[in-house]
A = this chain, B = another copy of it.
Amino acid sequence: MKEQTIDRIRRFTEDRDWDQFHSPANLAKSISIEANELLECFQWSDDDYDIQHVKEELADVLVYCRNMLDKLGLDEDEIVNMKMEQNEAKYPVSKAKGKSDKYSDL
C-alpha cells in the first residue's frame, strides 16, 4: 500500500476520533466480520460473484488490517516475510508441490 493511501486511512480514523474503539481485540473482530462479508459474495456459488462487491469487501479487510498494523506498531513487510519464512519451511516444494494438504499431513 502506498504511503498516501496509508495516510488517508490514518486520517479517517483520527478525524472521527475512532482510535478509542480500535483495541487489537476489536480490530480482530472487525477483520473477521469483513472477511465474512467478503465470503458472502461466494455463499451460494464459487463463480457467479459480483466483482464490485468483492472489491469493496476485500478493501474493508485490508483497511482493518492496516488499522491493526498501526495499532500494534507493526511493519507489514517484516511480519509477512517472517511468516513466509515459516511457510517455506513448513511446505517444502518437494513435498507440497501440487498438493493442498496441510503441512501436518504432508
Contacts and interface: CB of A to CB of B under 8 A. Distances in A.
Interface of A: 1-2, 4-5, 8-9, 12, 15-18, 20-21, 23-26, 28-33, 35-47, 49, 51, 54-56, 58-63, 65, 68-69, 72, 74, 76-77, 79-84, 86-88, 91, 93, 96-98, 100
A43 B68 contact: no
A89 to B, nearest CB: 11
Nearest to A98: B17
Given A5-B81, A32-B32, 20 more contacts: A5-B76, A9-B84, A16-B93, A16-B97, A16-B98, A24-B46, A26-B44, A30-B43, A31-B61, A32-B36, A33-B43, A45-B100, A55-B82, A56-B83, A58-B68, A58-B74, A59-B79, A59-B80, A62-B79, A63-B87
